[in-house]
Homo-oligomer: A and B are copies of this chain.
Amino acid sequence: MKRPKIVVLGAGYGGLMTVTRLQKQLSSNEADIVLVNKNDYHYETTWLHEASAGTLHHDKVRYDVSSVIDSGKVQFVQATALKVDHNAKKVILEDGELDYDYLVVALGAAPETFGIQGLDKYAFSIVNVDAARQIREHIEYQFATYKVEEDKKPERLTIVVGGAGFTGIEFLGELGNRIPELCKEYDIDQELVRVICVEAAPSALPGFDPELVKYAMAHLEKKGVEFMIGTAIKEATPEGIKVAKGEDEIEEIKAATVVWAAGVRGNPIIEASEFENMRGRVKVDANLRAPGLSDVFIIGDCSLVINEEINRPYPPTAQIAMQQGELVAKNIANLVKGNTHLETFVFDNKGTVCSLGHDDAIGVVFGKKVTGTTASFMKKMVDNRALLMVGGVGLTLKKGKFKFF
């Protein structure tokens, strides 16, 4: 009898959780497990804002896929997946194809620019290690160049962050720590640097407790961040951005660095594969399967799960992706073993902590509001927990966030 073939696309939080759980639950005689990922490394998407600001080296936010998979049970294929042909039960890769009996799509998100002109061309997005590295170097290069040029362009020292959501705020927190270092490195007066956060919604961190939002904004303003809340970016240009001011007016903000952190959508593969979707996210069934397909599971940022309490989708987070990965691994293992009973997914929200730089944070953990060093400590524990769950104690010690006194 042929062993069933399980293909997992993506070595992010969801994909790695799926594979590391599958390799524990299945023997190599029971199934062939194939993990497909563009890079030979996993990166911590939730730490990329640090690599982008330059406060944490990008090698600290990634580790080799090979360090967490059991090569006796899992075959790793470094490739880019383009499309799922669910009729033929095949994945089309950039260079070849793979058939599957069970497929787990865990490919993460792509930036959502909401059709705002120029954003895709003139703004950076904190999407992966390559992008984070470029943002870091771009900012440094602007500082270095400002110092050299005779006819000084003040906009070289202006950084616009589009969006005061989770990623935007966390990135601003890191910039708050990084800017003084950059000023020292390039002999630049910190008064000349501007960091502007533009958010279209009427408040920063929508969905967060207003008291915590106020705390976060006050903290960031003290570090020099200027907020333009309730202000929509109309266009990104080679010179900066244009924002709406009142009804008809447009204001131009010159900035050499524009980082778009205001929204994500599912991976383009979802649309390419013609799954029913909303902005690249598939509303999965109770077992996290694509509608009408018994063998295709979709988890993480490409999946859409409704929070029944408020009748709105859960935001895509590492936490939900990992819980989905665990469940999918359990269900697929059962199917492989001939047990057709599938467990349904229930999100166990342990809370959310939003970092404000290395020394402060805000959050709600197990239903309790936290700020300051407590929150900051909780954040690091959250970060370490992901490592622990995927790679165990060894990886956590190697890549975790610790401070030894």
Contacts and interface: CB of A to CB of B under 8 A. Distances in A.
A258 to B, nearest CB: 15
A369 interface: no
A217 B12 CA distance: 47
Contacts of A237: none
A140 B143 CA distance: 13
Nearest to A59: B185
Interface string A146-158: 0110000000000
B140 A137 contact: yes
A347 interface: no
Interface string A39-72: 0000000000000000000000000000000000
B148 A144 contact: no
7 A-B pairs with least C-beta separation = A137-B144, A141-B141, A134-B144, A137-B141, A130-B147, A134-B148, A130-B148
A141 B140 CA distance: 9
Contacts of A131: 148
Interface string A107-138: 00000000000000000000000110110111
A287 interface: no
Contacts of A138: 141, 144-145
A186 interface: yes
B145 A134 contact: yes
Contacts of A137: 137, 140-141, 143-145
Interface in A60-107: none
Contacts of A130: 144, 147-148, 187
A147 B58 CA distance: 14
Nearest to A143: B137
A308 B141 CA distance: 46
Contacts of A145: 134, 137-138
A173 B93 CA distance: 42
5 contacts: A133-B186, A134-B148, A137-B140, A137-B145, A140-B141
Max chain B C-beta neighbours (<10 A), residue from A134, A137, A138 = A137
Given A136-B144, A137-B140, A138-B145, 19 more contacts: A130-B144, A130-B147, A130-B148, A130-B187, A131-B148, A133-B144, A133-B147, A133-B185, A133-B186, A134-B144, A134-B145, A134-B147, A134-B148, A137-B137, A137-B144, A137-B145, A140-B140, A140-B141, A141-B141
A388 to B, nearest CB: 27
A148 B143 CA distance: 21
A264 B63 CA distance: 47
Nearest to A39: B187
A133 B144 CA distance: 6
Max chain B C-beta neighbours (<10 A), residue from A134, A144, A145 = A144
Contacts of A186: 133
A136 B134 CA distance: 15
A145 B139 CA distance: 12
A138 B131 CA distance: 17
Max chain B C-beta neighbours (<10 A), residue from A140, A141, A185 = A141
A300 to B, nearest CB: 23
Nearest to A40: B187
